[in-house]
Structure 1
Amino acid sequence: MSPAARRLLPLLLFCLAAPLACADAVVLRFSLAEARDTPNGRAAERFRQLAARYTQGKVEVRIFPSGELYKDREDLGALQVNAVQMLVPALGKLARLGLRRFELFDLPYLFPDDQAVHRVLDGPSGRALFEDLDDYGLVGLTYWDEGFLHFSANRSLKRAEDFRGLKLRVAPAPLLEARLRALGAQPRPMAADEAFGALEQGLLDGAEFTLPDFDALRMQSAQRHLALSWHGWQGNAVVVNKRFWDDLPNDLRGGLIEALRQATVYQRKLAAEDNRRALAAITATGVTEVQPIPLAERERMRQLMRPVLERYAESVDRALLERVQRVVGASRR
């Protein structure tokens, strides 16, 4: 027997004893907009490890972070044609794809806290929203957190009247712009990474961001006041290509579902920690004054924004909205 054959013999014997272990694994390409060290990136890695465990190595998850494969405007199209198999798009991005019911999460002051959000996401309403993905060749599996939005400006924001006339950066979306107009502000839709330069040039007075985004974009160098307002919530959906998902054997789908369930618990814990870390980091600079808007003023702001909620109720789905409101109940911050 040649030396090469002797080297291959143990592998051949192993494959005869355990053929599934030698079969090619199903490859799941997981494209991420975020870096590996973010809550989503770390949760994706946890999912990769758990997927290997719960499918006995029959599914290999390959993670492509930081838009490595496809940029923000390309990734959903790539998912639909199965060039990648899994994404974590922002819920607002799904709404702008034409899935109008996902605008539910852009409605002002709908959720009082993370617990209320999770009761909706993990219940019948969250599952009903995922049904809308079917016509787009997608399957929704779970929801991941980002956090609540807050306002910043170069003047103190303690009362609803303080927003009048302010030019505030907002993500490009009519509903988000309507929220600001309801407060008397002037919305300036633009990409997040354009806000800092616009503030330096005097084109903006302020913005709305989650705490981790505010910190990552170094907004404390350009904004003297951060008003904790909790006026909107941002999150993501974990979605897969429908053809890929439907073609998987039941046991592999079950293993991936369990892996993703555990990764979701981990991601939400990381996101909550990231929001606390960002708040501490912003406060520690001493440059930006951080103050919560008083509860009574937040209630006034909620009432001022209520016409926006009513205006968009039909396009979002009034029956869905009413179910969500019942789940959330009357609890407020």
Structure 2
Amino acid sequence: MAKKRIYLSSPTMHGEEQELVREAFDTNWVAPLGPHVNAFEKEIAEYTGCGHAAALSAGTAAIHLALRLLGIKQGDVVFVSDLTFSASCNPIVYENGTPVFIDAEPDTWNMSPEALARAYEKYPDPKAVIVVHLYGTPAKLDEILAICKAHGTPVIEDAAESLGSTYKGRYTGTFGQYGIYSFNGNKIITTSGGGMLVSADEAVTRQATFLATQARDPARHYQHSQIGYNYRMSNVLAGIGRGQLLHLEEHKEAKKAIYQQYKTAFDDIPEITMNPMNPDGDANNWLSGMVIDRNCDVTPDRVMDALDEAVNAETRPVWKPMHLQPVFEACDFFPHNEDGSSVGEYVFERGLCLPSDIKNTPEDMEQIIRTVRASFGR
């Protein structure tokens, strides 16, 4: 008999989602607009305190529209977190901009304020800064925002992984001129696929919605004065999101408990360090990660293979830094360390993401922990 699969982070449904989807079908609202879309936008805005929201087909679409609204064009420089998924920076290239990658710092694994300051010395006039909250941990926002404000640079806050996380009591995604969330299938709440662009400025989300519906002019006939996109979220998927949002705090607490269990379980193994938390924040702990000391013979691949073979558990390497990606090899990069070494590279080379599914049973967690400890001879 095949072993049960233990997932990295799979969707957790509760029942309300199906009821709201059924309502969409019963009322024939199965288009990329409708009452669930409107309600989901309002509910996200109320939950986060962001002001206004536009429901979209993906978090990537939200970043793209933010860049479009900022007028990014050929040759414009955009600073962006280096230790992230490629969706954070691909939209820069959609608009023919130039990504410049900013290394992580060791305290949160997020954008290094020190590296950001050095980037400004070479590129004094970037058109935007995209700061990511990796794995749900808030970045050092005070320092980053102060640097950006001093240079008059707008900030796009990539909170794709950090919905529900707070920094000094305020939700991530609400600090920049633009914020984005993702509802991909493995996120802390999901719409199967989807995202949200948020802003304190209603004009921003109104224009984003216009562009996301093919930029159709308000004419009786089909008229278009600028290029638009098919980026709107469907009413069916918004129904799933509304049902999921009811359980966000519950999911967050479960994720936090998983992180704490791992941290306690590995506390006596000096070669293991869990992904760091920002003391000024409250992370949603979307994924629990660990790094293995560079002087230890145990490698991340060895641990991941052991978990796969022994307990059929899904793991994941830490994101490969963007400056190491072949597609971005010509782009500039600013390391955190003054000696030129990269924090992000170290985390990538020595790190992995542990199974962080909130449906993990006590038995699942026991097996995972036992297998990891055995990899270190414990």
Return the TM-score normalized by structure 1: 0.28
In terms of Rg, which structure is larger?
A: 1
More helix by share: 1
